[in-house]
Chains A and B, each alone.
Chain A
């Protein structure tokens, strides 16, 4: 089963992503801010590493962009899908994002992108 790590400062959005992506057959874990993503990946080895990370580009504290930059700086190559209200394609590609989604989320598109990144259906 494909494991997804979702980061969004909005509890509602987290809930939505958890529920919808669970229905679509994914194992979803969610955190509320950028620092939590880094902690989650750095910390407990017992927990399995996510297959794809969904990052909200704009979050208080460490933004999605900051997290992406730090991950890539540490040599972490986990696929990242950036979710944002804005289109900042060039910058995102330079930073090493693997995909880009706008809100509101088109589920078909999102699932297609996840499948493309993992190379397998959920």
Chain B
């Protein structure tokens, strides 16, 4: 079972403390014990010495009491008896004290024997005979004093020995305690060293594994070992490595997919740096630009030095853009997607030569077809008109027949003109010759031309033109074409007996011309489409519309070519208002030949 490093440390510290504490307590106790023993022994030695001194005093007194016994026996006897008692008491006390010490006991015994010998040979004789003490009492007393001195000396020596003993014992004890403490500290050091070692190994393995991982060895794992801490770290590392491996694998898969996609793309893909130099190409790009290599400028690869400049402009704008380019005979469409920052861009290159060729063919076809159709149309129309010059020689039915031919012809001509204009507009070749024109005069011309057709449908026409309008810069025929288209539509789409209003006024720096009708209106979802091609609105079953479906489309092109804009407001059931605005000529001259179309309301049925 693995223990955590923290727990091991805690246990180690506790054990160390217990050992240190134990050793200290034992050492102190031992010293204390030694001291007490020493004091006890010293005390006994002192008491023994004291007892010995008492014995000596009592013996001296005994001796002294006997000196004058023959002269004053009574007090001498009393003194002697007291001294003898004291001697016996002291002896008893000394014997008791010396009981545990054979050497002291032996010395004491010799003292006692000497005393007993003195008493028998000196004291008893003096007491029994009331005689003066014999002369030899001094010799007999000597052994007693000697023995007493020996005992005293012994106790003195004994005390010194005890002191030496206790010093030695204390030193030994202290040494033992120090040895114990030292051992505990060494053991603790070894223990902690071991702990550190137990971590060092797993940590070193972890570091190695992490380095391998950083060097893209994603299979790198670490053996889970050591204390819980390093083990957990190892497990976490392994989990992380697995996650990383998985993520790398997924990235690799996506990258692989992407790379296959890019390689198999039919369009050429080129990545360039922010200086327009090629970084990478896919096979389609290599086929389109055989000179291209990593590092070549894009202009060099295409063979058009300006291509690099144009590319840099698109990149600087930081927005996707298309960049036309030609490489020899081929027309290329280059879509530029800047990567942002200083990271260059991705170019998607497509060979649009075929498309360009088809566009050109279409333009040529339209031009040729309209030209080729024009000659026969001119004949048909011209000869029909010749016939009409002789209408008084024809029956009514014949006249009607010729009129139908003429109507169909002019419709065809209109369609042809519109087609040609649109083709030119698409090719950017629709040109205008603008001049300063009076809006009122032009509106008047168109209204005059349209009046019979409007009258034929019984519409009420109102014309309101601001008399002080500034001039506009337009090609008059084109202005008439646009207004004619709008008015024709209003006339055709409005059910008989409706209302049509033509207005022209200044709105800020622009002139706004509007044609309002009381027709069926346009559904909101169709409003966007009306300016598209061939988008003819369903005008109801009773209406037969003969337009080409191109009128509004060409009108939009023309108005925009003049720097204006065209739009429509309409609600189903409430009629429509088509309006176009053109920039006014600022600070222009006076208003031409007076306002022809001054706000006038007239019934179209009126005779001119």
Contact = CB atoms under 8 A, between A and B. Distances in A.
Interface of A: 10, 12-13, 16-17, 19-20, 23, 58, 85-87, 89-90, 103-105, 107
B370 A85 contact: yes
Interface in B377-426: 377-379, 381-383, 385-386, 389, 409, 413
Given A58-B371, A86-B371, A13 B386 contact: no
Contacts of B389: 23
A38 B371 CA distance: 25
B433 A89 contact: yes
A104 B431 CA distance: 21
Contacts of B370: 85
Contacts of A10: 375, 379
B44 interface: no
Contact of B379 (A12, A85, A107): A12
A85 B371 contact: yes
A104 B409 contact: yes
Nearest to B375: A10
Interface of B: 367, 370-371, 374-379, 381-383, 385-386, 389, 409, 413, 431, 433
B374 A16 contact: no
Given A58-B371, A85-B370, 13 more contacts: A12-B379, A13-B375, A13-B379, A13-B382, A17-B382, A20-B382, A23-B386, A23-B389, A85-B371, A87-B431, A103-B374, A104-B374, A105-B382
The winner among B374, B378, B381, B383 for most chain A CB atoms within 10 A is B378
Contacts of B386: 16, 19-20, 23
A19 B433 CA distance: 34
A19 B386 CA distance: 8
B367 A16 contact: no
A89 B433 CA distance: 8
Contacts of B383: 16
A23 B367 CA distance: 33
Contact of B375 (A23, A87, A90, A103): A103
A104 B371 contact: no
B419 to A, nearest CB: 12
A12 B378 CA distance: 9
Contacts of B385: 20, 107
Nearest to A24: B389
Nearest to A88: B431
A104 B380 CA distance: 9
Nearest to B383: A16
A59 to B, nearest CB: 11
Contacts of A58: 371
A90 B381 contact: no
B68 to A, nearest CB: 186
Contacts of B377: 103-104
Q: Which 4 A-B residue pairs are closest in the complex by CB-CB distance?
A: A16-B382, A104-B378, A85-B371, A103-B378
Given A13-B375, A90-B433, A104 B367 contact: no
A104 B433 contact: no
Nearest to B373: A85
A105 B386 CA distance: 12
Contacts of B378: 13, 16, 103-105
10 contacts: A13-B378, A16-B379, A17-B382, A20-B385, A87-B431, A103-B378, A104-B378, A104-B381, A105-B378, A105-B382
A16 to B, nearest CB: 4
A12 B379 CA distance: 7
Contacts of A23: 386, 389
A39 to B, nearest CB: 24
Contacts of A17: 382
A100 to B, nearest CB: 11
Nearest to A16: B382
A58 B385 CA distance: 24
Contacts of B374: 85, 103-104
Contacts of A85: 370-371, 374
Contacts of B382: 13, 16-17, 20, 104-105
Nearest to B430: A87
A86 B371 CA distance: 8
A59 B174 CA distance: 139
Contacts of B381: 104
Contacts of A105: 378, 382
